[in-house]
């Protein structure tokens, strides 16, 4: 039967995602069409994709470096790449709920919510369908881990003293932003928090200030980006549209958004920009059909977003629990815990890269021994 794929009776995990660009969506559909069919023109994909109900796209199999194996499915919510804005929130939530229902139907024991799926669900966990035997994790704790680890290691590699740095977090009140703030604040000189919701900003600032952190808040990052030499962009933006303005010379900037936060027109010639929140599987990772490099479009093999890797790591560990439950619950202790679990199964920080390619000072995470 044309197009049929390997039938796997029992699955451990499901990954819910969506494509961040029409190009990425076109590549996925080209694989599904197969080599015997000409790829669909982009205008046809723009017509067709919004009508596809959420569904499994491929099977995923991961083996850890300690010999454990977990099987799952990648479920695409088919949120159109140009409809990530607030105006499509209702429709997108329905798509994520539909994808969650697919995961439950497939028998997944743990479901990771990738990209905008987790952002949509952060404040709406109760809107997910419920079934005994299936748990959901936003995957944000492992994402935070990879961001924090990358910044620490890049500073170390460049001989910078993070304790003398001013840290700016854009999207600070989100799950990932606030988690990064809690992990990094105790180790920097000053923290600048930026988000749209002033009330949430005040609450987070008060929480950090209570532990002795020198913290300031603003709703516009350009208000104090010139003071920052370490920047984390973790805002939930529908498209790469963030303009930071000027930053400190040689600033380190982590773009952890999906879709990316930073506008391509943002000129930051002296800054060291990298894409954050990514991990690498050092065991094996298989997609059936083979969507390697298409579902995970990175210049290094077996690199996947932390939010999706969290579900896979927990499945390998046999811990089917809602590890990341939603906004504001990520603590340094939880980050260390998921980092240990991931490392035990050979899931580490991915080598760093940006739009131009790998960073010259790219980290060799495989050589690193988890401390």
Partner 1 sequence: MQTVIDLKCSLPANPISLSPTALIWQDVLAQAITGELLAAMNYTSLSEICDDPEEVADALEHAAGEKGHAAAFANEGRKIGVDASNNVHAKHWKRLREAFLRCITERDFIGCLIVQEIMLESFAVASYARVGKVAPGTLGKTFAAIAAEEEDHIGHAMEILRKERARDEQSFDARLYRLHLEVMTTLAEMLARDCRTGHCEVCHGSCVKPALPDVSLSAAELRGASLHQYLKTLDKLGLPGEVTLTWVAQLPV
Binding-site ranges for partner 1 (CB under 8 A):
1-5, 7, 29, 32-34, 37, 40-41, 44, 47-48, 50-53, 55-59, 73, 102
| SS3 labels along the chain | CCCCCCCCCCCCEEEEECCCCHHHHHHHHHHHHCCCCCCCCHHHHHHHHHHCCCEEEEEEEEECCCCCEEEEEEEECCCCCCCCCHHHHHHHHHHHHHHHHHHHHHCCCEEEECCHHHHHHHCCHHHCCCCCCCEEECCHHHHHHHHHHHHHHHHHHCCCCHHHCEEEEECCCCHHHHHHHHHHHHHCCEEEEECCCHHHHHHHHHHHHCCCCCEEEECCHHHCHHHCCEEEECCCCCCCCECCCCCCCCCEEEECCCCCCECCCCCCCCCEEEECCEEEECCEEEEECCCCCCCCCCCCCCEEEHHHHHHHHHHHHCCCCCCCCCCCCCCHHHHHHHHHHHHHCCEEECCCEECCEECCCCCCHHHCCCC
Cβ nearer to partner 1, comparing 45 with 150? 45
Residue 37 CB, nearest approach to partner 1 (Å):
6
Q: How far is the CB of 120 from partner 1 (least distance, A)?
A: 21
The minimum distance between CB 238 and partner 1, in angstroms, equals 22
The smaller minimum CB distance to partner 1, of residues 59 and 97, is found at: 59
In the complex, what is the shortest distance from the CB of residue 32 to partner 1, in angstroms, rounded to a whole number? 4
Looking at the Cβ atoms of 73 and 191, the one nearer to partner 1 is 73
Q: Toward partner 1, which CB reaches closer, 22 or 300? A: 22
Comparison of 33 and 196: residue with beta carbon closer to partner 1 = 33
- Cβ closer to partner 1: 44 or 321? 44
> Least distance (Å) from partner 1 to the CB of residue 60?
11
Identity of the residue, 33 or 202, whose beta carbon is nearer to partner 1 in the bound complex: 33
Kindly state the smallest distance separating residue 12's Cβ from partner 1, in Å.
Answer: 17
For the record, the structure tokens of 134 come out as 């299936």
d(CA 275, CA 232): 10
Measured CA to CA, the distance from residue 179 to residue 192 in angstroms comes to 14
Q: How far apart are CA 289 and CA 38, in angstroms?
A: 18
Q: How far is the CB of 28 from partner 1 (least distance, A)?
A: 9
For partner 1, the closer CB: 26 or 191: 26
**Smallest separation, CB 2 to partner 1 (Å):** 6
Minimum Å gap between C-beta 4 and partner 1 is 5
> Angle 261-370-65 (CA atoms, 0-180°, nearest 5)?
90
Nearer residue to partner 1 within complex by CB, 39 or 332:
39
Rounded Cα gap, residues 160 and 71, in angstroms: 41
């Amino acid at each position: 039967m044309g197009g049929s794929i390997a039938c796997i009776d029992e699955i451990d995990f499901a990954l819910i995602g969506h494509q961040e660009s029409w190009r990425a969506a076109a590549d996925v559909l080209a694989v599904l069409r197969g080599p015997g069919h000409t790829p669909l023109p982009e205008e046809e994909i723009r017509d067709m994709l919004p009508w596809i109900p959420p569904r499994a796209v491929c099977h995923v199999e991961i083996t850890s470096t300690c010999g454990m194996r977990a099987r799952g499915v990648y479920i695409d919510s088919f949120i159109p790449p140009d409809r990530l804005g607030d105006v499509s929130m209702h429709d997108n939530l329905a798509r994520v709920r539909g994808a969650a229902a697919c995961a439950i139907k497939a028998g997944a024991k743990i479901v990771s919510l990738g990209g905008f799926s987790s952002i949509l669900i952060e404040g709406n966990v109760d809107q997910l369908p419920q079934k005994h035997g299936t748990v959901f994790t936003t995957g944000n704790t492992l994402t935070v881990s990879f961001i924090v680890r990358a910044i620490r290691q890049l500073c170390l590699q460049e001989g910078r003293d993070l304790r003398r740095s001013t840290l700016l977090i854009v999207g600070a009140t989100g799950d990932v932003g606030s988690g990064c703030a809690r992990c990094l604040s105790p180790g920097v000189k000053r923290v600048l928090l930026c988000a749209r919701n002033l009330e949430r900003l005040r609450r987070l600032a008060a929480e950090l200030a209570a532990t002795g952190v020198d913290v300031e808040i603003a709703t516009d990052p350009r208000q104090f980006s010139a003071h920052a030499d370490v920047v984390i962009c973790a805002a939930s933006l529908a498209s790469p549209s963030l303009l930071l303005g000027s930053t400190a010379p040689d600033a380190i900037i982590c773009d952890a958004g999906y879709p990316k936060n930073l506008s391509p027109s943002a000129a930051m010639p002296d800054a060291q920009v990298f894409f954050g929140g990514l991990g690498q599987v050092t065991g094996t990772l298989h997609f059936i059909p083979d969507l390697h490099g298409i579902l995970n479009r990175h210049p290094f093999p077996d690199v996947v977003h932390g939010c999706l890797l969290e579900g896979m790591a927990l499945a390998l560990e046999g811990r089917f629990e809602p590890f990341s439950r939603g906004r504001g619950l990520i603590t340094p202790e939880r980050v260390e815990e998921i980092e240990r679990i991931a490392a035990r199964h050979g899931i580490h920080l991915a080598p760093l890269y940006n739009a131009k390619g790998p960073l010259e000072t790219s980290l060799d995470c495989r050589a690193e021994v988890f401390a």
